[in-house]
Amino acid sequence: MAVVHRTTMTPGKLELLASWLPAQPWYQDPGSGRAPQPDRAGGFRLDDPQGEVGIEFMAIRDDAGDRPVTYHVPLTYRGAPLDGAEHALIGTSEHGVLGRRWIYDGAHDPVLVERLYALVRGDAEPQAQRESNTPDPSVTGWYAGTGEPGPVTILGVSAGPETTDVLVQTPAGKQNLCVRRILRPAPAGEDTAEQPLGHVTAEWTLPDATSVRGPYAVVRA
């Protein structure tokens, strides 16, 4: 199960994200030359069955503008570069226990994508973001599709103004794993009304410390 080390990372995650966010197509520029001011707002982790890749889903609130925006940034942490993923590299950081880590936008990482799809199907157990060996039952997956569990292959990744769409090949056929980049609280039943094949919902906090929840990812045919 997920192990969270109580140690340092240099540079830190938020420092790396502050530099990386403005270059993303879904970043909402606060204007007036203001740089992002990212802060943690929630999230969760998943386990890599092979124990090689760290997997984290971060809710990052940017308070730089007049209206705070909460972004969803899935991250993977690797002990060596991921071949062919230079475009998805957020940066490298020195971990106090594990040494140098290569940190990637997880929407492009096949390990994270496979585990996220497994979570949608109910075949992976979400873990607390900041506690070791602690399941997080507040994170829920729902799936209405058919087909047996099996390998998931990334066929293509495209970024839009609010989502990153990952086209995957699954045992049930081609499906679109839509990673929500702008998090918004969703009324109960919103995603069902949109008739997705599945989704993952989780919580995050607003500037006033109110806890809300909504979809982090949606699966569509």
In the chain, pLDDT over 90 holds for what percent of residues?
79
In the chain, pLDDT over 70 holds for what percent of residues?
95
Whole-number Å distance between alpha carbons of 206 and 209: 5
The predicted structure's pLDDT at residue 192:
44
- pLDDT 10s digits, 143-193: 998 877 889 999 999 999 999 999 999 998 999 999 999 999 987 555 444
- pLDDT 10s digits, 10-50: 999 999 999 999 999 999 998 877 899 999 999 999 999 99
The predicted structure's pLDDT at residue 65:
84
Whole-number Å distance between alpha carbons of 1 and 97: 17
Whole-number Å distance between alpha carbons of 150 and 171: 6
Whole-number Å distance between alpha carbons of 11 and 71: 20
The predicted structure's pLDDT at residue 138:
97
Closest by CA to 74, choosing from 121, 107, 122, 33, is 107
Q: Which of the pair, 71 or 133, is modelled with greater confidence?
A: 71
Whole-number Å distance between alpha carbons of 179 and 120: 12
Separation of first and last alpha carbons in the chain: 31
Whole-number Å distance between alpha carbons of 18 and 193: 35
The predicted structure's pLDDT at residue 130:
86
The predicted structure's pLDDT at residue 64:
87
Closest by CA to 17, choosing from 47, 61, 52, is 61
Q: Locate tokens 């040494």: which residue? A: 99
On the question of pLDDT at 88 being above 80, the answer is yes
On the question of pLDDT at 108 being above 60, the answer is yes
E strand intervals along the chain: 9-10, 38-46, 54-62, 69-78, 89-95, 99-105, 127-128, 140-143, 153-159, 163-170, 173-180, 198-205, 211-220
Q: Are 86 and 101 in contact (CB under 8 A)?
A: no
pTM above 0.95, yes or no: no
On the question of pLDDT at 205 being above 70, the answer is yes
Mean pLDDT of the chain: 92
Count of beta carbons in the 10 Å neighbourhood of residue 146: 9
The predicted structure's pLDDT at residue 7:
76
The predicted structure's pLDDT at residue 96:
81
Mean pLDDT of 205-220: 95
The predicted structure's pLDDT at residue 158:
97
- pLDDT 10s digits, 118-128: 999 999 999 99
Whole-number Å distance between alpha carbons of 136 and 153: 27
Whole-number Å distance between alpha carbons of 116 and 106: 10
